[in-house]
Amino acid sequence: MEPGKRGLTMTAVAVVCAITVLAAPGPAFANPSPTPSPTASPSNAPSLPPNKDLEAVHKKLDRLYHDAAVATDAYNAAEEKAKEQSTEIVELARKIVQGQRRLDDLKDRAGAAARAQYRTGGLPPEARLMLSDDPQQFLNGAGRVLQGQRATKGLIGEMTRTQHDLEQYAKDASAQWEKLEAGRKAKAAAKKKIKQQIAAAEKLESQLEKQEKKRLAELERQAAYQAQTAWLDTGILKEITGKASTPGKKAVAFASAQLGKPYEWGAEGPDTFDCSGLTSQAWAAAGRPVPRTSQEQWKQLQHIEVADMRPGDLIIYFDDASHVGMYVGDGAIVHAPRPGRTVTIAGAGTMPILGVVRPDA
């Protein structure tokens, strides 16, 4: 096998083999969000004696889980890019294999022409034509010689173009592989940070006594209740009158059917979900695919005023768009909160709202 041919073939094989190193999926996140009644009144607010130590723990847990949420979005984004890049590499490998076969065929045809010339004594067609004593044969042969020249020129041109294409495919595949490798490192770094943040949060919680854990849970419920009440007190619920679209109803039905399933970072179901895994799968089930991460959902989907939202719309939370929930009506969302929690219903105002997006605008 010629060096150039062998190199291109090895490139195709290497490209195909590279796909097998893609990392297995991990689990995207959310800040902790308790589940108060969306329309609860202030008179029912739970009371809890002040406890500065537990409040500090609560805030620290919030920060740890929030940082895990941000890292999870980075992990999921890297995972999505890896899928796209691996698909591109596979397509380039297919083109390389097909191009190599085409080049082999062209070389065989060129070799056949050379062997035919050898069998005629090595004389080119023009020389053999000039030696002919038959005028008619001369005229007929002149046309064939012209056709042969054009065919030879076309064959050489096609071989050159095919060789060039193969070289370009190999360069493109190499570039995609470099991107894939960079993404793998980014994903590994994000995964490490997720585990670190969750481990720190779990360690902190494990140091609490049983009664302290109960009081901490009560603190979380109280904070969520106060946030939801403040949101409702703006009168926003009177303005939100939108009805769900047909795809929106399907998305809400899918998300609601997942209630009680555990949160797992990077998970897209069917048994576990993270926040954007739940919303992306719900809208995929409704026939309207959306970006995988909460940050990309915020960037790519149409923004809607909070007062104009309807069931099925996605509410994006926190300034860094690190959490997402699906509005289901009556001031409530369904979402996958954070590690250690399950898919649940919560007040839409229990976390700082960045904005609302509509997948089926």
Of residues 43, 61, 44, 45, the one with CA closest to residue 53: 61
Cβ(316)–Cβ(275) below 8 Å: no
What lies within 8 Å, CB to CB, of 331 at 6+ separation is 38, 39, 228, 231, 232, 236, 237, 240, 347, 348, 349
CA distance 345 to 33: 10
Q: Which of 58, 66, 164, 275 is catalytic?
A: 275
| DSSP notation for 220-234 | HHHHHHHHHHHHHTT
Amino acid at 107: K
Each residue's pLDDT tens digit, 18-62: 433 333 333 333 333 334 444 443 334 444 444 558 788 888 888
335 is catalytic: yes
d(CA 103, CA 99): 6
> Does the annotation mark 17 as catalytic?
no
User: What is the pLDDT averaged over residues 219-228?
Assistant: 92
Model pTM score? 0.62
What tokens appear for 224 in the block? 């969520």
Per DSSP, helices labelled H in 207-313 are: 210-232, 236-239, 246-256, 275-285, 294-300
Question: Do 272 and 337 form a contact (C-beta atoms < 8 A)?
Answer: no
Higher pLDDT, 168 or 315: 315
pLDDT digits (tens, 9 = 90+) for 168-213: 877 887 787 787 777 778 878 888 888 888 888 888 888 888 888 8
Q: Which of 6, 178, 19 is nearest to 94 (CA)?
A: 19
The answer to whether residue 66 is catalytic is no
